[in-house]
Amino acid sequence: MISPIGWIIIWIGVFFDILGAIGLVRFPDVYNRLQAATKCVTLGTFGIMIGIFLLKGFSSMGIKALICGAFLLLTSPVAAHALMKGSIHFGTKLWKGSVMDAYGKDKLGGEQIEKED
């Protein structure tokens, strides 16, 4: 009974990974792309890890997968945060359709939004 559920969760994870990749291509600027990449890829990979745990049970491999999943949940947002902060300080501007930029207004002396052509 556990085995088909494990496979279903693994396939849901793969599906979300693909959606994340599509979002990465379709969104306009680095910040929106990070949104797609972080959310979908974290849940997708976490799903794959949980699926492996359900397939293998409390064996050596299953417990390793579970620990990997937990560390993924903790570290992946931190990595995204670092990338985002890095690109802000590097001077990458927000997409021209953006409505506001409180960070630029407060810290960088003016909103960092691309001008319309």
Partner 1 sequence: MRYLLYFILAFCLWLLLTLSVHLDHIIAGVVVALLSTIIFGGYFTTRPIKFLQLHRIFWFVVYIPVFIWYMIKANIDVAYRALHPQRPIRPGIVKIRTMLKTDIAKVFLANSITLTPGTMTCEIDGEFLYIHWIWVESSEIDEASKIIARRFEKYLRRIFE
Which spans of this chain sit near partner 1 (rule: CB under 8 A)? 16, 19-20, 22-23, 26-29, 31-32, 34-36, 38-40, 42-44, 59-60, 63-64, 67, 73-74, 76-78, 80-81, 84-85, 88, 94-95, 97-104, 106
Nearer to partner 1, 10 or 94 (CB): 94
Smallest gap from Cβ 74 to partner 1, in A, equals 7
Distance CA 108, CA 53 (A): 46
Nearer to partner 1, 7 or 95 (CB): 95
Distance CA 88, CA 107 (A): 11
Environment class of 106 (CB within 10 Å of its CB; exposed 0-12, middle 13-18, buried 19+): exposed
Smallest gap from Cβ 58 to partner 1, in A, equals 9
Backbone angles phi, psi at 4, to 5 degrees: -60, -35
Smallest gap from Cβ 27 to partner 1, in A, equals 7
Q: Is 93 left (phi over 0), alpha (psi -120 to 50) or beta?
A: beta
